[in-house]
A and B are shown apart, each in its own frame.
Chain A
Amino acid sequence: MKPALFLAAFATLAVAMPRALATDADGFAATYAAAQTAERQAGALHHQWTTTEADLKAAQAAAARHDNAAAIRLAQEAAALARLSIAQAQDQDAHWRDAVVQ
């Protein structure tokens, strides 16, 4: 029984672990790609933030050292910052004249 149990446990791990790792890696890739897309959009509007760029670099560095949790968190933060910078660009495009000295 014992060898059978060991084999079953091994088989479970052998199937589950790569899938979990792949899920993490896929999760990072998707999150990072979304952040990059948003940042490129901010770039087209000339409204990128240095903090977004720093988070994107830090996310890649975390992914390179296989710290997927940190990598995903940083990519999510970069995506959020990029979206805020796009919102800022759109708001300012509509309202910058309000600040003009009259």
Chain B
Amino acid sequence: MQRGGSGRLSRRLPGGFLASLVALLCALAPPAVAAAANKVDPAADLQAFQAYFHAAFPTVALDDFANGPYAVNQDMRKQWEEIMQFPPYDFALDAGKTAFATPFKNGKTYAGCFPKGGIGIRQDYPYFDAKSGEVVTLDLAINQCRVRNGEKPLPYGSGEIAAIAAYMASTSRGKPFDIKIPDDPRALAAYEDGKKFFYTRRGQLNFSCASCHVQAAGKRLRGDILAPALGILAAFPIYRSAWGGLGTIDRRFISCNAQVRAVPLPPEDRTYRDLAYFLAYMSNGVAIAGPGARP
């Protein structure tokens, strides 16, 4: 019995041609597979990322990942619980609350720039702004608010901007990260840019963010316990004893990059914002715990 079209085709075409056709199709297959592997799929990434950390730290509850090294090391946790009897960021938190409520020269306040008056919204930042086509972090939004109201932007990294962000974060405590990646090629590109930065080795020491916070999470690096990447942004801004004050996510990115001997990007650089977008999305479901305290 003749088998349909393929039989007719094989009668008309020489065997050599068919072999060449098969070889050609095989040669074309790997790029197709690679393209599938390179497909931007934040939801699949999120599932794999969180599963990795749940497998690595099976006794740690999702929300506890917000506490970084204290979630995975009992000795450090005891010290931290003692420290938190009198949180070292309290003065900065009060200063942030005051600054947040203090009117600009035009009489308006920060509350006018944010949804819900800026209270209980930290879990929604960073977000992708369709108008500008860029990721907006909370720190950037604070400065955009100032500029819109005729004020100079604050220097990034520490000081007043960290205090205001700390106050805003404190009003979101317990609310899980709820970062959205809209079906917009620009948003997906921003997510992918952040993901690439996170996994790319850099600096003379040839470390990526993932080298420490995925592959070596929970292990010691000299005197420190490396925090898992899951939930790592949930406690920001943080008071670091090494800094002697509050610092923002930018400050941590910059110091991490410098520690591996890579020239850091400027604070609030587009790629750092994309990195924060990726990391916050990977932490969806982890409750905000900022401001936090770290060694």
A residues at B contact (CB < 8 Å): 43, 46-51, 53, 81, 84-85, 88, 92-93, 96-97, 99-102
Contacts and interface: CB of A to CB of B under 8 A. Distances in A.
Interface stretch (B146-154, B173-181, B200-208): B200-208
The main secondary structure of chain A at its interface with chain B is helix
Nearest to A47: B202
B214 A46 contact: no
A53 B261 CA distance: 10
Interface in B189-209: 195-196, 199-204, 206, 208
A96 B206 CA distance: 12
A93 B263 CA distance: 17
Interface string B247-275: 00000000000100111010000010000
A101 B262 contact: no
Interface in B79-119: none
A102 B41 CA distance: 12
Given A92-B200, A97-B37, A101-B214, A50 B261 contact: yes
B181 to A, nearest CB: 16
B38 A97 contact: yes
Given A92-B201, A96-B199, A97-B38, 16 more contacts: A46-B271, A47-B262, A49-B263, A51-B261, A81-B204, A88-B202, A92-B202, A97-B37, A97-B199, A99-B199, A99-B208, A99-B210, A100-B195, A100-B199, A101-B214, A102-B48
Contacts of A48: 262-263
Nearest to B38: A97
Indicate the size class of the contact surface on chain B: 20 to 34
9 contacts: A47-B262, A49-B203, A49-B204, A50-B261, A85-B204, A88-B206, A97-B37, A99-B210, A101-B214
A88 B203 CA distance: 9
Contacts of A50: 203-204, 258, 261-263
A99 B215 CA distance: 9
Nearest to A85: B204
A81 B45 CA distance: 34
B214 A51 contact: no
B49 interface: yes
A14 B38 CA distance: 67
Nearest to A48: B263
A37 B175 CA distance: 49
B34 to A, nearest CB: 9
B201 A88 contact: yes
Nearest to A91: B201
